[in-house]
Structure formats: structure tokens, C-alpha cells
Amino acid sequence: MHIRDEEELFLILNLLEEPDPQYKRQLTEAGYFDENENITPKAEEFVEEFIKSRQDKVFAAVEKNGSYFKDKGYVLLEAGLKKTLAVELILEDLVKQGRLKRKSGHGYIVRCGYNHPPIDNNI
């Protein structure tokens, strides 16, 4: 079985893109979906690794630009991604980690300084 593209698989496993039935059958045979078409631990591990492998590049690109909305194409290019949906899932993960802040009108910005203190997840 040939997995077409890691980014496409990432979106499919996040249930944001519907694969054609034959490809979904291949993904089930490869262990990414169970017989009820639910994602498996293998799929969850893939999603986690996909995010981890790109989050520092996405963060660095946003930090350099000052905002994701300032130049989305640059962030996509730096992260090696083609679809904004994929990068936005990674951005949301960075928000959960407290590294970025979602700001209306500016998109995602680096959380730092007086106005945007880092979140202490240990509280």
C-alpha cells in the first residue's frame, strides 16, 4: 500500500477530508482505521508525530512574521505544507501549548511579554 501524502493522511485522520472508498479501505488495511471506520492508536500516533515534526517550523515562521495572517504562504512554505487547514491545526496545537495566541484581526501571534504572558499549564 502506498500512502499518497503525509499531509493528506493528516487531514483524513483528523476527519477533515473524506478519502475515496478504495483509499479508505487501504488505510483500514494499514491499521489507521478500524472496521467501524474509527481512527486507531496508530492513527493517533501518526497525527501526534506529524504535529511535533512541524510545530517548531510553524512557530518560527509566525515569530519571524509577527503574525500568521501577515503571510500565510510563508508559514506554509517554511513548514513544508500545502494546505492551510493542516497548518491551522498545528497553530491550534501551539495555542493549546501556550506558545501562540489567537488574536482577532491578526490571526495567530507569539504569546510573550506583558500583554500576552505565557500560559502556565501547571496551575
Q: How many CB atoms lie within 10 A of CB 53?
A: 13
The CA distance from 41 to 95, in Å, is 24
Residue 47: band (very low, low, confident or very high) from pLDDT cuts 50, 70, 90: very high
Which three-class secondary structure state does DSSP give residue 108? strand
More confident residue, 3 or 66: 66
From CA 54, how far away is CA 67, in angstroms rounded? 17
Q: Which of 96, 90, 89 is nearest to 58 (CA)?
A: 90
Rounded Cα–Cα distance for residues 46 and 69 (Å) = 27
* pLDDT interval class at 2 (50, 70, 90): very low
* Per-residue pLDDT at 37 exceeds 60: yes
CA 31 to chain centroid, in Å, comes to 21
Using DSSP's 3-state secondary structure scheme, residue 50 falls into helix
Query: Which residues partner with 100 through β-bridges?
Result: 110
Average pLDDT over residues 65-70: 89
Residue 64: pLDDT band by 50, 70, 90 thresholds? very high
Confidence (pLDDT) at 114: 53
Q: How confident is the model at residue 121 (pLDDT cuts 50, 70, 90)?
A: low
The 10s digit of each residue's pLDDT in 85-120 is 999 999 999 999 989 998 876 689 888 755 555 555
